Amino acid sequence: MGAFMSGRDVSARGPLLSLRWPHRKPATWERASVSDLDRRNPRTRAMVAGASGAVTALLAVISVGPLLWMVKSSLSTSQEMLGNPLGWPAELRWSNYGDAWRQVGVGQYTLNSLAITGGTVLMSLLCSSLIAYLIVVMRPRFVRVIEIAVLITVFVPGVISLVPLYLTVIDLHLLNSYWAIWLPAGANAFNVLLIVQYLRGIPSELFEAARIDGAGPLRTFVSIVLPLSRPILGGVALLTFTASWKDYLWPLLAIPDAQKQPLAVALSRIAPQADQATLMAGMVIAVVIPLVIFLVFQRQFLQSAASTGAVKG
């Protein structure tokens, strides 16, 4: 009787539950601070839209505001920039960029920066991809030791290695040479880990098939690994370019010759005696170049981030 009543009770309550609560949401639905029912109210929708717009505008001012002010100052005179920092100049002085490029030497320093960053990117891609290939594909007996050593260097602050690195550069007679910047850039543990994570997603059957076909380690690296790693290599190249372009401390130590210094170091050196408006024009040039590089190659960067799982939900 109890079992009968229990079965009857369950069968009777099942349809009633579906009739009384047809709007019940699944437990997997996401919750928000404003419910869907509240959003149906026009006043609530207007308040949410206004708050979102205000927060977006505030973030835009905080992030883009300094850049816009720097561009405005580069088109002003020094008197206008110092006397009325927030005011619009009476006349746009595009000649400040020409003066900065020729008279201050921004053109030469920009070429120095391009040479330094270009060599840094090439050295970093070559060394990082080879180390990642050794860890993932070739896998020698001591591969675990290499992987642990690379992982440990991620947690070592770069400032700690400045003195030993500087002494090593002096012993190798590389001081005041771009090789003093290019060679240390090859040992970047973060780039190695990114490429390792990407290579582990490539099916191992491809490497086995290449080995069966008689391809050696170098042929496998050039014909299989490099073509398939274009997305991650593009992202690593972009990150390396940005980090090298804005690097200040190590180029200042490794290249004491003023004529060979990059733009980031040279601007700080010429700031005390240069015209302020012309200096601002040089700073705009220093900011615009990596910004343009990022906008041009942002697709490759996003592809590399997605392929390594950085943007996957």
Instruction: Report the alpha-carbon distance of residue 128 to residue 196 in Å, rounded.
Output: 9
Residue 4 or 266, more confident: 266
- 296 has a pLDDT exceeding 60: yes
Q: Among 308, 302, 306, which Cα is nearest to 200's?
A: 308
- Indicate the residue type of 236: V
Same domain, 86 and 210: no
Same domain, 130 and 224: yes
What's the pLDDT tens digit per position in 106-151? 999 999 999 999 999 999 999 999 999 999 988 888 888 888 888 8
**Would you call 176 helix, strand, or coil by DSSP?**
coil
| pLDDT of amino acid 122 | 95
Instruction: Report the alpha-carbon distance of residue 66 to residue 100 in Å, rounded.
Output: 20
User: Picking from 2-6, 153-157, 186-190, which range would have the lowest pLDDT averaged per residue?
Assistant: 2-6
**CA dihedral (23, 27, 28, 33) positive or negative:** positive
- 3 has a pLDDT exceeding 50: no
- 102 has a pLDDT exceeding 60: yes
Domain range for 76 is 40-98
Same domain, 183 and 298: yes
Q: In sequence order, which ranges of the chain are alpha helices (DSSP H)?
A: 2-20, 36-39, 42-74, 78-83, 95-102, 106-133, 143-154, 162-171, 179-185, 189-199, 204-212, 217-220, 226-228, 230-246, 249-254, 263-270, 276-296, 298-307
Asked whether the beta carbons of 67 and 287 are under 8 A apart, the reply is yes
| pLDDT of amino acid 8 | 44
The residue among 50, 76, 98 that closes a domain is: 98
Same domain, 104 and 94: no
Q: What is the pTM of this model?
A: 0.76
Q: Which residue has the tokens 């073509």?
A: 227
Instruction: Report the alpha-carbon distance of residue 29 to residue 223 in Å, rounded.
Output: 47
| pLDDT of amino acid 32 | 57
What's the pLDDT tens digit per position in 55-73? 988 888 888 888 888 888 8
Largest pairwise CA distance in the chain: 102
Structure tokens at 168: 């090593």
Instruction: Report the alpha-carbon distance of residue 28 to residue 8 in Å, rounded.
Output: 30
Residue 15 or 275, more confident: 275
Same domain, 72 and 190: no
Asked whether the beta carbons of 177 and 115 are under 8 A apart, the reply is no
What percent of the chain is modeled with pLDDT above 90?
28
Asked whether the beta carbons of 105 and 266 are under 8 A apart, the reply is yes
In a domain, 208, yes or no: yes
Question: What CATH number did the domain enclosing 136 receive?
Answer: 1.10.3720.10
Same domain, 291 and 190: yes
Same domain, 189 and 245: yes
Same domain, 117 and 260: yes
